[in-house]
Structure 1
Amino acid sequence: MRSFALSVLREPPFTADQHQDTEALARESESWAQQLGLISNGRRLRRADAAGLAGRACPQAPRDRLRLLSDLISWLFVMDDACDEDGLGTDPTRLAPTVAALLDVLDQQGGRDAEPAAGPLGAALADLCRRVRAHDRPAVLLRFTSAMREYLLALLWEAANREHDRVPPVHEYVQMRRHTGGVFPSLTLTDLVLDGFPSAEHRADPQWAALDQLAANLICWCNDVFSYRKEHRAGPDAHNLVTVLSRETGDETAAIRAAAARFNEELGTYLTTESDLLAQHGEAVRPALATRRNWIRATYDWSLAAQRYA
């Protein structure tokens, strides 16, 4: 599938790089996950290569800040596997208590020392919130907790679809995929890591919101094309762009090509929108634009390398 994905996806025209401390970072994030009880061993997390993804998204970041992003991605992979592979996400009534407990953690915003519910997932999320809070950037903390809340609620949407064997229509899937992919909390911490958080004025620009949506689409659709075969082997799952397109076309190969075509067209729209924002706002937005470029390129390169989709 990787060779086919390479043949149909347009390679993002952005510089590829990786942080020099990625291997050490991987060991540290795995140790963090084990100490907090997220994992019993590191096999599955090593296959996911959270540090590799973080290191590609922030190749020039200070290592201590990059750990925060690597740990978040590790948490997202553990949560994703719990839902998709361990059965937590097959029944909304089973998932709901976990989501409620994690929402309570987010409501505390890292400001209380009470023992969080939801076991290791809650303890690790509380640790992430405390570390974001320690940067003393209230707007970033609020944006992070809000994006994580949207991610958790989107997981309930997925669980409800699985319970009823429902394949969502394409427009609905595209909207919700931005949230189930955990893109927005990851972008928020990347902005924090690189000290490139856009100003309130820039974030209020509708074009900026459009750019973030385009970046999220590209990140998620690239992942869908690369991961489709692996997910399909485990049993058909409605939550992949290829699957929802296949439901409409009735042809799997045509759906894969259609998903790639959407990615390629969206990449062109992204480049145009990025140029417009740079022309309008100048150098002030360049760090945030670089963050999104890095994430799009990182997802493409990581999808080629990670054992997660082998």
Structure 2
Amino acid sequence: MPQDVTFDLPFSTPVSPHLEYARERHLRWVRDRGLVRSDAGFEEYCSWDLPQAAARTYPYASAEDMTVLMNWFSLAFLFDDQFDAGRPDRADRVTEVARELIVTPLRPADTPPRVVCPITQAWAEVWAQLSRGMSLTWQTRFAASWGRFLTAHCEEVDLAAAGLEGTLTVKEYAQFRRRTVGIHHSIDAGERSRGFEVPAQVQAHPVMERMRDLAADVIGFMNDIHSFERERRRGDGHNLIAVLRRELGCSWEEAAAEAYRMTAACLVEYLELEARVPEMCDELGLSEDERRRTSMGVEAVQHWINGNYEWALVTGRYAADKDTPAAAAERAGRGSVDDLLSVN
């Protein structure tokens, strides 16, 4: 399944004009904070081009905020790669660090982490910046989504450590993937990137709740398709194509085709609900300002669907043919060249 599989998305999104300005500062920050510890790790990280992903998903952020968002992006991706299949005991350390990442937004900003490693220290710094100017309601919503994402990551690691990652049914996997993809809090960050907040009554409405879930499904399934070759190289069974092949007893090609069909179906349902947003606004009796903020919230979802898709087509993270130290580590069952869960 090649990385360049395309989807027919009905909307396009802009790219931040601050990409290069923020990229330079972000890459220096990653080095300074010890989030890459080797030349091989830095080369691999640069090949992912996460700055482009941030510039596409948060296109209206200021230059300084774009740097903060890039810094935040790095943490989730780098942490995701820290599990070592050859050391199942490492799952306990992953859980310990995840617990620290979860509680950070629940403490006063600038509180030093209790569990110390490069990722927890960097997250404490980034959260103080990311939460600035946002209401307690937004911070609580973000923290809840962030916590569910990290909890699901720990569940994924536990399954892998126990050799059970290939045991979920398609239905179970789809529900699980909705949490592991980490989209709900990423959409929330779209509000921070433009200095607004979606009205609480809109966030609680079934239409918006379902739209956010479907966006997570679309992005998670597209990600599984585009990253399939990398995950097969790593021996990672948490991928929709792998789950479908096992459950349906079909070929890889047939499983990939079914994954594509499922993704397209979720996108169709999302678009049907998006068309109902004006009706939802009328039902809730929203003011002009509330409607404007709701519209910006929908744009935040669109930016993530399309921006992540455009980045996934070109990022080196999902490249099928790689002959690098990082690829060698993946084939050996290690998620990353550098260990970021310990302190040197």
Give the alignment's TM-score, normalised by structure 2: 0.82
Q: State the 1:145 CA deviation.
A: 1.9
Equivalent residues in 2 for 1:1-310, closer than 5 Å: 1-2=1-2, 5-6=5-6, 10-40=7-37, 41=39, 42-83=42-83, 91-112=90-111, 114-166=112-164, 167=166, 168-235=168-235, 237-251=236-250, 252-281=252-281, 283-284=291-292, 285-310=294-319
Between the two proteins, what is the percent identity of the paired residues? 24
Superposed displacement of residue 47, structure 1: 1.7
The structure number with the bigger radius of gyration is: 2
What is the distance in 2 between the residues matched to 1:3 and 1:121? 29
One-letter amino acid matched to 1:289: V
* Cα distance, 1:5–1:88 mapped onto 2, change above 3 Å: farther
Structure 1: 5+ residue runs without aligned partners? none
Residues 87, 32 of structure 1: alpha-carbon distance in 2 compared, 3 angstrom cutoff: farther
d(CA) in 1 for partners of 2:8, 2:66: 25
**Helix, strand or coil: the match of 1:5?**
coil
Q: Measure, in 1, the Cα distance between the counterparts of 2:60 and 2:105.
A: 29
| Deviations, residues 23-51 of structure 1 (Å, cap 9, x unaligned) | 22222222222222211252222122111
Q: What residue identity is the alignment partner of 2:15?
A: Q
Query: Is contact 2:110-2:124 (8 Å) kept?
Result: no
Counterpart of 1:151 in structure 2: which amino acid? Answer: F
Could you say which structure has the higher helix fraction?
1
Report the alpha carbon displacement of residue 139 of structure 1 after superposing the two structures with TM: 1.8
Aligned-pair Cα RMSD in Å: 2.1
Q: Does structure 2 conserve the Cα–Cα contact (< 8 Å) formed by 1:33 and 1:39?
A: yes
Residue 111 of structure 1 contacts residue 130 of structure 1 at CA under 8 Å; is this kept in 2?
yes
Tell me the TM-score normalised to structure 1 length: 0.90
The 1-side partners of 2:253 and 2:298 are apart by 34
- Larger RCO, structure (CA 8 Å, separation 6 or more): 2
8 Å CA contact retained: 1:22, 1:52 = yes
Aligned partner of 1:121: which letter? Answer: I
